[in-house]
A and B are shown apart, each in its own frame.
Chain A
Amino acid sequence: MSEHRLAAARQQLEMLRRDYRQRTRTLLDALATRLQELQDISLLDETENQLHKLAGSGGSFGFAELSRAARQLELQVRQQRGRLTDTELPLLASQVRALIPLLDEGAPQSQRSGQASPSSGPGAVLIWSANHAQGDDRLCVTLEQFGHAAQRVADRESLDRALEGSDFEALLVDLEVEGPGTSQRDALLEHLSQLRTEGPLGQALVFALASEDALLLRLRAARAGVSGFFVRPFDPVKVVDRIERMREERQALQGRVLLIDDDQLLARHHAAVLEAGGFEARICTDPLQALEVMALFHPDLVLMDVYMPGCSGPELARVIRMHDEWLATPLVFLSAETDLDLQLTAASEGADDFLTKPIADGHLVAAVRARVQRARQVAQLIHSDSLTGLLKHGRIKEELVTELARARRQQRPLSVMMIDIDRFKRVNDRYGHPVGDQVLRALGNLMRQRARKSDRLGRYGGEEFLLILPDCDTQNARALAEDIRERFSALRFTHGKEDFSVTLSAGIACYPRFEDPGELLAQADQALYAAKQNGRNRVELAG
């Protein structure tokens, strides 16, 4: 297809996308409002239809997450038919409303600047418990706040249908959903084991929701493949946190590998081998593009050919190492060169390892895996805040310098967002530091989910966070800030029998309005201060 037609298509698509976004936002808002205010059960028909349409159209306009979430919700509404009462409509209203942020520019599936879209965002969660189960509605709302579509089922038949219908990230099972007796619980656990071995569960995590805590029960649950155990009344935020932690752990096994080789065919083969081995691979056939690709992709390891037109491997390695942010990234040469001297020279040029072509598939995967694991562990230790997993103060400031330089080169906007939790000291004083830590972790998780993969997130201070949003203008930054602010304020934390919620304030400053890192930080800080002065739980823009 001609370049010209492709460009025309993309332009038209962008226009259609914008229209779709606007119309759908209005539609969802109106629907949610009617569900909430009219409390009319006959709205369910219309709701189901609308959701079905969204499921079938969203993805075509680039809103894949919307399609998925709408589908989940549609299935849930269908299953709840006949059992949903008027009083449960407000919950549905909030679930419908929770779809709106999925239309945002800053939403996780945004695909601008050629970046890879995250396939590892929050997945759907299935809850198997009795309809009257205490607290499970709140669990659903909390899950939705964190971007997990939540679906409830009350019996085995509905469970099976739901599992058949979609992939879930987690299944939460009330151990007493089929009855309080030991034999009923055991039968339930048996069924869970079966589901695991027969496949419908897929890769889903299984958590147990129990009314009592007993070692034997935990043991039986573990045997059935359960990896989380929560005793009622439990804190829904902790459940979400667990899901996040486990996803992080699983993702830690994967890694991002960048292959720089002018031989496309071979690079594609190696990429395929690495992907089969569980890695995320990207190819760059022009060494001169490498730095740009690295800045977007953030590889855990770079595999590069030694002989390339325009720029040799060792030369490129030297250039890469000139950048602080790539000092710790393993660089591995892959070449047909068997000359030992050359290999040693390459090593001193900043490469960490030298592999000879042709290389057996298994060897490639093993060599890469070992290097990546090590590099990640080290990077995590050095750069990340141990509580939230976000970048540390020093590191996030470095990232600002880097990203700003890139924004300048590419003539793209960049936004800096400073977030501060309101009255955090009170949380620590009243509920203790462990609970305060929970709150910090929850915000960290929330930010990670709502931001894009190319956004840099850092813990700036005790309760202060800094977000660097490349390729993001004032409007989109504000939308993201409001999204995070709203979702955070809707979270309910528990301490003993007490429930509480927390809010945050945010300040935003953007390039090119402000030109250098120092100014951006100062202005964002001032805007944050204004937000606090103006009542807290709000977002202010600089200037």
Chain B
Amino acid sequence: MTTLQHVLCVEDEPDIRLIAQLALETVGGLRVSLCAAGTEAVEAARRERPDLVVLDVMMPGLDGPGTLRALRTHPETRELPVVFMTAKVQPAEVAQLMELGALAVVAKPFDPMTLAQQLREIWSRR
């Protein structure tokens, strides 16, 4: 698959889920699956088979990094590319997140008019 078509968004805040859907589906023309908790992400990923997973970092229960680790332990989702989304974008924090094996770190708040394009660019560089 050379173009990005289907994204799974894991985000606990309903506000952000809605606007991410707007950004990726309506503006970006991508297929979007939504998931409200890290604990459901693995199941959702297996079921929906997205090309890319966007993970919020700060979530109650299983956080972003924890979710990534969970995805990596299952054979079906081990190779799934992941992008983190976070309001903390200090160089040290970003480096830490990248070291976990994410494709990229996207800053919050994101611009709903350009998020899809951003993800496409990240995807094309992978």
Query: CB within 8 Å of B: which residues of A?
Result: 1, 5-6, 8-9, 12-13, 16, 20, 23, 52-53, 55-61, 64, 67, 71, 164-165
Contacts and interface: CB of A to CB of B under 8 A. Distances in A.
Given A55-B87, A59-B109, A5 B29 contact: yes
Given A6-B27, A57-B16, A57-B19, 8 more contacts: A9-B22, A20-B15, A56-B86, A56-B109, A58-B109, A59-B110, A64-B109, A67-B109
B90 interface: yes
Contacts of B58: 52
10 contacts: A12-B26, A13-B19, A13-B22, A52-B58, A55-B108, A57-B13, A57-B15, A60-B19, A61-B19, A67-B109
A36 to B, nearest CB: 25
B77 to A, nearest CB: 25
Interface centre among A5, A56, A58, A59 (most CB of B within 10 A): A56
Chain A binding surface, main DSSP class: helix
Contacts of B111: 59-60
Determine which residue in B13, B15, B58, B111 has the highest number of CB atoms from chain A within 10 A of its CB, and name it: B15
Interface string B34-71: 00000000000000000000000010000000000000
Contacts of B13: 53, 57
B62 to A, nearest CB: 17
Nearest to A62: B112
A67 B58 CA distance: 16
A315 B42 CA distance: 66
Interface string B91-126: 000000000000000001111110000000000000
Contacts of A57: 13, 15-16, 19, 108-109
Contacts of B16: 56-57, 60
B108 A60 contact: yes
A52 B87 contact: yes
Contacts of B90: 164-165
Contact of A16 (B18, B27, B87): B18
Given A16-B22, A56-B108, A9 B113 contact: yes
Contacts of B112: 9, 13, 60
A292 to B, nearest CB: 23
Nearest to A8: B26
Contacts of A1: 27, 29
Contacts of B108: 55-57, 59-60
B28 to A, nearest CB: 8
A71 B87 contact: yes
A368 B111 CA distance: 33
Contact of A56 (B22, B23, B26, B87): B87
Contacts of B18: 16
